[in-house]
Amino acid sequence: MSEPRAFVEVNLAAIAANIQTIASETDSQILAVVKADAYGHGLIEVARAAVESGASWLGTALLEEALQLRAAGITAPVLAWLTPPGDDFDTALRERIDLSISSLAILEGILAAGERTGITPRVHIEVDTGMTRGGFLEEWDPFLIRLREVKDSLHIVGFWTHFARADEPDSDFTEQQLILFNVLLNALQSEGIYPEIVHTANSAGALAHKSSHKQMVRIGIAMYGLTPDITTMGSSEKLGLIPAMSIKAKLVNVKSVPAFSRVGYGGVGVTDMDTKLGIVCMGYSDGLPRRADSTAGVSYKGELARLVGRVSMDQCVVDLGPDSQALAGEYVTVIGEDGFSADDWASAAGTINYEITTRIASRLPRIYLR
């Protein structure tokens, strides 16, 4: 194959370093969150690198993601936490996937699969302590009653919750969630049930709330070297994290245009002087946000070239400056150390770094650096 017109470079050494940075701050086990194709970095490669670098668990949202890990020969413990009733729990049990129980319907589905397969399900009970999304809330009391009848048919490995505002170090909301969490844990223990692994922290919890570490921390965004929130927690650099993803794309063309040229759909971009424009072979179908403004762009040999006009489906236009030596066919950096970060793109488009990396299209090849 010829050189790709655009590609994603994933630095697995950065992922290893970020895991080690987190590990040096906690005594807890690390669960590496690899949902959504490892936040766009590539499920299997990242999962392998994470396990080699000290993560003892892997976490996915979907069961199909967990099964892909097994199909790739990965044997580490895997927890899948977003499994609607009707999912193929039989296969999950046969593949030794730990499942989350967050409702009575899911409990019954998992129990039935345990009976059919003769395998005792390994489960983690999720409680809703303030996110008002996943986990037991109004069904908690009926759940405890049902659990009395069926607890011997389950291996209750974990008890967990998820934080809504752990990325706000000045808010006491996380501490309030932890207080409620402990009340619910005590209620479970009064039933004679003592899960081995209690877990609550996401990246922000692990970085900013030591009291949330428990037996395991679930690390997503920080493993990829990105900050959970650039305004409240500071940049990757400030947190000692190394971004793992960079993106390069080719210039399709370089053209000289006069001042006041209107660029792209709607003519909303206007050149402010005679300049050279670079036509970059990457657009919104590749995951660049269409609404990004000119505070983002690309870099060419370390020189920033800002977006002009709207991002198109497969391409975008940047202002290289009148003296640029850039040539058609050369690569520019769309995300990378010497240019704009995922956080720069996020701020240019009114979103968060999570959304930037997870949306980078699968049609861009991933190239792994070790």
Ligand X SMILES: *Cc1c(COP(=O)(O)O)cnc(C)c1O
- Sites of contact with ligand X (CB under 6 A): 33, 35, 81, 162, 202-204, 218-222, 228
Residue 218 or 276: the one with the smaller Cβ distance to ligand X is: 218
- Please report, for residues 175, 197, 274, the alpha-carbon distance to residue 179 in angstroms, rounded to integers and kept in the order given: 6, 18, 62
Residue 303 or 355: the one with the smaller Cβ distance to ligand X is: 355
Q: Which of 194, 265, 284, 354 is catalytic?
A: 265
Is 210 catalytic? The answer is no
Closest CB 241 distance from ligand X, rounded Å: 11
Closest CB 198 distance from ligand X, rounded Å: 14
Is 35 catalytic? The answer is yes
Query: What is the distance between the alpha carbons of residues 48 and 70, in angstroms, rounded to a whole number?
Result: 11
Query: What is the distance between the alpha carbons of residues 38 and 50, in angstroms, rounded to a whole number?
Result: 11
Residue 35 or 165: the one with the smaller Cβ distance to ligand X is: 35
Closest CB 102 distance from ligand X, rounded Å: 10
Between vectors from CA 343 to CA 63 and to CA 311, what angle results, nearest 5°? 90
- Please report, for residues 2, 32, 35, 256, the alpha-carbon distance to residue 219 in angstroms, rounded to integers and kept in the order given: 36, 5, 11, 47
- Please report, for residues 251, 284, 333, 358, the alpha-carbon distance to residue 289 in angstroms, rounded to integers and kept in the order given: 18, 6, 16, 12
- 39: tokens are 């936040």
Closest CB 47 distance from ligand X, rounded Å: 14
Residue 59 or 336: the one with the smaller Cβ distance to ligand X is: 59
Residue 253 or 358: the one with the smaller Cβ distance to ligand X is: 358
Residue with smallest beta-carbon separation from ligand X: 220
Q: What are phi and psi for residue 304, nearest 5 degrees?
A: -75, 140
Which residue has 């069926």 as its token pair? 150
Query: In the chain, at which residue ranges do the beta strands (DSSP E only) sit?
Result: 6-11, 29-33, 57-60, 78-80, 97-101, 122-126, 155-160, 197-201, 216-219, 245-257, 262-263, 269-270, 275-280, 297-300, 303-307, 316-319, 331-335, 366-369
Question: Would strands 297-300 and 262-263 be described as parallel, antiparallel, or unpaired?
Answer: unpaired
If DSSP codes are grouped into helix, strand and coil, which group holds residue 222?
Answer: coil
Residue 50 or 221: the one with the smaller Cβ distance to ligand X is: 221
Q: Which residues contact 204 (CB under 8 A, 6 or more apart)?
A: 163, 166, 167, 228, 229, 233
Could you list the active site residues? 35, 265
